[in-house]
Chains A and B, each alone.
Chain A
Amino acid sequence: MRLVVVGNGMAGSRLVSEVRARDPHVTVTVLGAETCRPYNRVLLSNVLAGTTRPDQVRLVDPSWYATHRVEAVFGSAVTCLDRDARMVITEDGRRVPYDVLVLATGSEAIVPPIPGVERAIPFRTLDDCERILEAAGRSRRAVVVGGGLLGIEAARGLAGRGLPVTLLHLAGHLMERQLDVEAGQVLGETLAGLGVDIRTGVTAREVRADGVALADGELVEGDLVVLACGVRPLTGLAADAGLEVRRGVVVDDEMRTDDPSIFAIGECAEHDGTVYGLVAPAWEQATVAADVITGGKALYRGSRLVTRLKAKSVELAAMGETQLTEEHAEVVRFSHRARGTYRKLVIRDGRLVGAILLGESDAVGTLTQLFDRGGTLPGDRAGLLFPGLSSAAHVADSPTLMPDAARVCQCNNVTKGQIRACWEAGARDVAGIAAATRATTGCGTCRDAVEGIVGWLCEQEGVSA
């Protein structure tokens, strides 16, 4: 069988390695439009922020293709899909026959059709990232257009490099698809504290050499303009070949298009009415497609979305249906704007269907897993938002309050009562207690407690004497 994969980004490269892990024999060719090896797009924000070097985001070693007998072609965009001949044709004239084809063409940055937009740099690829970095070096002030996840990460990254940044956003609050109004506002306040000037509810009308002109005529100054206005699935190849395309290439639960020999995964695919823009669903889809292609059985049933902002000093996780109100769900909310903290749980039928966690919180791991698994929640909702709240309430181990049955020395199973009896029999210091009960002779961590009890008993004696 000849497998051809169009697209060598995060979805395509994942599919290739998943297929190879399952089947060492199938002939695999992967065609990528970008000239470089696949890289982790998730880490581009770190590259922009300067915490990760561009060479550290590669997903595949150069030798991998040879050792795994995968033919990889770089910098060769596919321009035509001939379904009758079962062949793809690249812009440089390569004709590659397939038995099974996987479309993993991803998406492209949306560039708004406004005057001067060619002066701006979209933030989408590693090349874009390097262009932005190069421009940032000789810029005095930056404007980022788009207050979604990527725009915020870009703005935070540039601000972290010491560049004053203005973030322009069309909607009334940041990340309006993932956050409710208050969370968006708290996030804006946090970012403002980190040097990002936030302007919401504004429309960019023109990109000029000295900045971005807004619809009301105001000029937002900046000599570097970055675009993060969302993405659009790349579906032209599929549409031209007559495959069913809505927003993305339509696939079934096996990730198959309406041509049974053609699959689509990742950001170019539309499953059950949804086009996903995050990597986790793309990799889940790659796993399902790899199973199916290598003769296994697997079905994709959609993904639960967890958005985790990657920006230094901004901890944000958002998942599921965050905008539901008390009319439709049980909502638990904690807000402390002075500290940049906002936490919200959305619960339906006793299960977590959405959450926002803004500001550092140990709850994030547990809540993400509860959301992912869809299990029932414990009755103590506050304990979910504030882990440690219930366990912190233990009575202090003071010698006076401790019951006689309390085990003081775990290693030698010695209770407070035994220590008291030993003291009453004449032992007046830790050494004496240790000789008689072996308390403190194991791990040694109970020494302070034993000393405390002995001291307290001696004090009591003094009081009564």
Chain B
Amino acid sequence: MGKVLSHCPYCALQCGMAITAEAVISPRSDIPANAGGALCQKGWTAAELLTSGERLTTPLLHGRPVSWETALDHVAGRLSEIRAEHGPDGVAVFGGGGLTNEKAYQLGKFARVVLGTSQIDYNGRFCMSSAAAASSRAFGMDRGMPFPITDLAEADVVLLAGGNVAETMPPFVRHLNGPRLIVVDPRRTATAKLAWLHLQPTPGTDLALALGLLHLAIADGLVDEEYVAARTSGFDAVRTSLASWWPERVERITGVPVPRMRQAVRALASADRGIVLTGRGAEQHAKGTDTVTAFINLALALGLPGREGSGYGCLTGQGNGQGGREHGQKADQLPGYRKIDDPAAREHVARVWGVSPEDLPGPGRSAYELLDALGTPEGPRALLLFGSNPVVSAPRSGHVTDRLRALDLLVVADIVLSETAAMADVVLPVTQWAEETGTMTNLEGRVLLRRQAVRPPDGVRGDLEVLQGLAKRFGHAFSADPREVFDELRRASAGGLADYAGITYERIEKEKGVFWPCPSPGHPGTPRPFLDRFATPDGRARFVAVEHRPAVEEIDEDYPLYLTTGRVLAQYQSGAQTRRIAPLAEAAPEPFVELHPDLAGELEIGAGDLVRVTSRRGEGRWVARISDAIRRDTVFMPFHWEGANRLTNPALDPVSRMPEFKVCAVRVERVA
């Protein structure tokens, strides 16, 4: 029986896997991300959702099964009415970082061309936006890891700030066997336990820590002055700003001892090949962009980026978190990582789309602002939602749920009845990964192809077909063929930062993926884009001086503990997929609150007790887990289940509009 070559449906590692027509999965060994045939339990069990009894197979209108014609007619009709009454921005679109490049592209085009709305954003705003903004600011380009994943194993030292790869993308750990690993995390995570050195800062103080590390690098004469002079700009201002961040001050803010900071920076500076990585722990803050910038400044001062074998990279989260932020489902972007307010970009994309540049809307609201505006007098009245589950994943989710409820029309396309789909007026059952073909761009910026392996269940349609059907009702011809859409995406991205013009399905298969930018069919792709110059106008990387400030909500007498959220190995994102897979549900059956034994003792909480956690935005009851892997002043909750995000703080980063998921103040009590 033939096997179809594909990739895992979950995280941005996009492990290669082969799938039979009977949906039997085996790991591929030819894809570097999981070379040697690694998979985690999520990957091994992914096929179970293909045949799950919870699969949606018919459209639902107000909860009742209806035909596709009825459902799409209803949606198109209501959208027309709402547009007529409230204007184009009365209709909003929300996408996801798990959608293929083709879908992400088509969704952006659908919003701008068919609906004419500026109101489109996606859940990647909650994921990659801070790293993206900081990378763009420093390097002129945001390609998560601007080097192949195999560079990691060759590195001498890797500093990982706020990432728990041992649980989020286990096969990634195989690339960390070689280097000395330094982990920055308020918890002693599975990843921190593998580290040579673990720095355990107070939640919300990673920025101060990065400043302290760079201060030490300067004070101890570890700066690569030659590199700084030749390849960067702006260092003098950064050097001056760091005089205020001497290590003893940083120690008091972060709780990280000065000798540990010194150990970390010396190791990184003495490495022949050194790599700095950031994850959501550092990025999901109202100062996430500046935090990433501070780590990039550190990497630049040590001369790492743009040198073979060294560099800075962020760990993209969702399966297509990288491609999803390149092709136009972001409020301020057009395909090819173009800016929507750039006249030349508008001109180019409008020509590909066969419309006039003036007809393209401008920038819209960012994800949380969009959700927050739903159903308000100034906000959209209708929402089309693809590949996302904000009832679980948005900050201050209780409020977001209220906003969704206030809509005149909520349309959700999903494979199962997620918490958000359950609220929808119209639910559209769509295909999933192994049932469809499309490209994904993984955390390295490597464009990969997932081929359809199995026949979808009767009654479901692909997202591209859904968009085609809706577009047709508005008098627009959209293709539902992924290859045709990809070819159009190539033209639309041509000349942009994320240039896919030279990438074809055939090349991807032959070359095991192609790195963008790849501007022409003869171009080999670009594994390491910054070796000669950075993507800034003058080719130099830009230092940007940044300052630490406290978390937006600091602990006080009423809310005396920090809450930080994160992931567990057996679940993925909002859990809509993984919670419905029996072995994963068995491995991680329920949400919990992790607290330190000292804190548990003080609050008279025992393992397994039910505890109430309260923030200024909401509360809930969860089971307590006692662990000394966490700081005494902090509790941890996984966010894969509805509830944790009722507590989180929607304060936004001024640049990236990232919410402050990773730190807020809470109170914890035992439920009698």
Contacts and interface: CB of A to CB of B under 8 A. Distances in A.
Interface of A: 39-40, 42-43, 46, 51-52, 56-61, 280, 306, 308, 310, 315, 360-362, 364-366, 368-369, 372-373, 375-376, 378-380, 383, 390-391, 410-413, 438, 441-445
A412 B40 contact: yes
Contacts of A368: 251-252, 255
Interface stretch (B233-241, B432-440, B508-516, B535-543): B233-241
B475 to A, nearest CB: 50
A411 B170 contact: yes
Contacts of A445: 166, 173, 194
A361 B39 contact: no
Given A46-B219, A61-B240, A365 B569 contact: no
B170 A442 contact: yes
B598 interface: yes
A390 to B, nearest CB: 6
Nearest 10 pairs between A and B by C-beta?
A378-B598, A443-B173, A365-B255, A442-B170, A443-B170, A308-B248, A413-B587, A411-B170, A442-B40, A411-B40
14 contacts: A42-B249, A56-B219, A59-B244, A362-B260, A364-B251, A364-B257, A365-B251, A411-B170, A438-B44, A442-B170, A442-B171, A442-B173, A443-B166, A443-B172
Contacts of A375: 560, 633
B583 interface: yes
B170 A60 contact: no
Contacts of A372: 252
Contacts of A61: 236-237, 240
Given A441-B27, A443-B174, A57 B256 contact: no
Contacts of B252: 280, 306, 308, 365, 368-369, 372
Interface in B276-333: none
Contacts of B633: 369, 373, 375
Contacts of A391: 628-629
B602 interface: yes
Interface in B595-614: 597-599, 601-602
Interface in B371-397: none
A43 B569 contact: no
Contacts of B218: 56
Interface of B: 27, 37-41, 44, 166-167, 170-174, 177, 190, 194, 202, 218-221, 236-237, 239-240, 243-244, 246, 248-249, 251-252, 254-260, 555, 560, 569-570, 583, 586-587, 597-599, 601-602, 628-629, 632-633
B259 A315 contact: yes
B335 to A, nearest CB: 35
B39 A378 contact: no
A442 B243 contact: no
Contact of A308 (B40, B251, B583): B251
B19 to A, nearest CB: 16
Contacts of B41: 411-413, 438, 442
A410 B587 CA distance: 9
A362 B257 contact: yes
Contacts of B194: 445
B583 A378 contact: no
Contact of A369 (B202, B244, B601): B202
A411 B569 contact: yes
A52 B243 CA distance: 10
A341 B260 CA distance: 18
B192 to A, nearest CB: 12
Contact of A410 (B221, B239, B569): B569
B40 A58 contact: no
A31 B637 CA distance: 52
Contacts of B243: 39-40, 43, 56-59
Contacts of B255: 365-366, 368-369
B191 to A, nearest CB: 9
Given A364-B257, A376-B602, A413-B570, A51 B219 contact: yes
Contacts of B248: 42, 308, 310
Nearest to A306: B252
A306 B173 CA distance: 40
A376 B37 CA distance: 50
Given A308-B248, A442-B38, A365 B259 contact: no
Contacts of A56: 218-219, 239, 243
A61 B27 CA distance: 55
Given A46-B219, A391-B628, A410 B249 contact: no
Given A315-B259, A360-B259, A368-B252, A413 B583 contact: yes
Given A365-B255, A372-B252, A410-B569, A444 B38 contact: yes
A372 to B, nearest CB: 7
B639 to A, nearest CB: 19
B632 A378 contact: yes
Contacts of B240: 58-61
Contacts of B202: 369
